Amino acid sequence: MIVLEFKAKGKASQYQAIDEAIRTSQFIQNKCIRYWMDNRGVSKADLSKYTKVLARQFTFAKNLNAMSRQASAERAWSAIARFYNNCKKGIKPTGYPKFKKHSRSVEYKTQCWKLLSPKRIHFKEFGTLKLLGTYDLAFYSTELIKRVRVVRRADGYYIQFCIKIDVTEEIEPSKQVIGLDVGLEYFYADSNGNHEENPRFYRKNEKKRSRLNRRFSRTQKGSNNRVKARKKLAKLDLKISRQRIEHAKRLARCVVHSNDVIVYENLQVRNLIRNHSLAKSISDAGWYQFRCWLEYFGKKFGKITVAVEPHFTSQECSSCGKIIKKSLSTRTHKCSCGCELQRDHNAALNILKKGLGTVGHIGTLLSEQNASGETTSLLAGFNQSMKADSLKEESS
């Protein structure tokens, strides 16, 4: 499944109709969650049936397409199913389903929309919109478009097309392995001794954001100046978010292209940001996004991505294995065996050893079901190929 995104251009009345559809979708999603809370044991099909009841009770809900109402019910069920899975696995916090407060999108399945041309789309509820973008929708069959999502952002409205197709590319094997240790001093340090600088997009724009936030707080509630100030602040946040995503995507693609096996830490970022002294810097680094793109490109290009536990990777000596306690301010690893390395470089070497010497789990964010047996076979094939210098034959 791939997602192609275009910016939508329309009239002010069409934008108002989109906002109304988004509010209705949020209303149905919250109603489905409340229905599940009041009637424990309901299934996904029961929530889908409940959308018909809501359409009969509320006129504005009936104005939304039936498949869009079902898509809103599916969103509610995804939160419920995630809660059940976390309870079974013993994950805490369990993530109890919450009501949606700020919804920004509405989904359509295969009805209520029609492509007039690769650059124009017609919706039954808010008319024809112009599509601005570089993707060629004519390359894909209309039957492959399973969902169309209308998204509202700070700088306008966007149309996303979810196309049921798997994009895979074959590239020449590099016969290289790498271990990555993400950090705050550097964005990451690899097992070869290379470092990637931390861009710190939020820190660089923090003064500008504080100025816009003060200007927003001084405006009067309900005034036009407050709306303008809020839009400027939202656009800056959107810009920072896009910079962080593009940076993670670019680095992940380069790392996957240059190596056949990528080993990284299985960090729980949501637990790390509980440290209020480092929460802002950790959130600004974007480690989770970098990991997501590593696993995505690993699947796309047929490379091996292995996540290992981060315990003692910074404290253990990569040469002799001795545990040497270090504080966060200590940036150099020194051991009695004579090993002296930069702290992150030492951790990257330990991460690589763990990935090649133990059974990790491949693509944990994409598929956790093949975590046990598949990793063993792939790593074994890789080790044999490095010895025989025939990686292509072993990996196939």
Q: What is the pLDDT of residues 248-282, one digit of tens each?
A: 999 999 999 999 999 999 988 888 888 888 999 99
pLDDT over 50 (residue 388)? no
Q: pLDDT by residue (tens digit) across 239-249? A: 999 999 999 99
Within a domain: 220:
no
Q: What's the predicted TM-score (pTM) here?
A: 0.81
pLDDT over 60 (residue 361)? no
Within a domain: 71:
yes
pLDDT over 90 (residue 394)? no
Do 9 and 151 sit in the same domain of this protein?
Answer: yes
Do 75 and 143 sit in the same domain of this protein?
Answer: yes
**Higher pLDDT, residue 377 or 129:** 129
Q: Kindly report the three-state secondary structure assignment for every residue of the chain.
A: CEEEEEEEECCHHHHHHHHHHHHHHHHHHHHHHHHHHHCCCCCHHHHHHHHHHHHHHCHHHHCCCHHHHHHHHHHHHHHHHHHHHHHHHCCCCCCCCCCCCCCCEEEECCCCEEEEECCEEEECCCEEEEEECCCCHHHCCHHHEEEEEEEEECCEEEEEEEECCCCCCCCCCCCCEEEEEECCCEEEEECCCCEEECCCHHHHCHHHHHHHHHHHHHCCCCCHHHHHHHHHHHHHHHHHHHHHHHHHHHHHHHHHHHCCEEEEECCCHHHHCCCCCCHHHHHHHCHHHHHHHHHHHHHHHCCEEEEECCCCCCCECCCCCCECCCCCCCCEEECCCCCEEEHHHHHHHHHHHHHHHCCCEECCCCCCCCCCHHHHHHHHHHHHHHHHCCHHHHHC
Do 105 and 190 sit in the same domain of this protein?
Answer: no
Within a domain: 336:
yes
Within a domain: 280:
yes
Within a domain: 381:
yes
pLDDT over 60 (residue 112)? yes
Do 153 and 260 sit in the same domain of this protein?
Answer: no
Which CATH number belongs to the domain containing residue 248 in this structure?
A: 3.30.420
Within a domain: 33:
yes
Q: How confident is the model at residue 356 (pLDDT cuts 50, 70, 90)?
A: confident
**Region of poorest pLDDT, from 172-176, 345-349, 384-388:** 384-388
Instruction: Quote the domain boundaries for residue 101.
Output: 2-163
Do 119 and 184 sit in the same domain of this protein?
Answer: no
pLDDT over 50 (residue 228)? yes
Do 383 and 328 sit in the same domain of this protein?
Answer: yes
Do 87 and 186 sit in the same domain of this protein?
Answer: no
Q: How confident is the model at residue 358 (pLDDT cuts 50, 70, 90)?
A: low
Do 159 and 251 sit in the same domain of this protein?
Answer: no
Do 371 and 253 sit in the same domain of this protein?
Answer: yes
Within a domain: 294:
yes
Do 272 and 356 sit in the same domain of this protein?
Answer: yes
Do 137 and 187 sit in the same domain of this protein?
Answer: no
To the nearest whole number, what is the mean pLDDT of the chain? 86
Q: How confident is the model at residue 380 (pLDDT cuts 50, 70, 90)?
A: very low
Do 181 and 270 sit in the same domain of this protein?
Answer: yes
Number of compact structural domains in the chain = 2
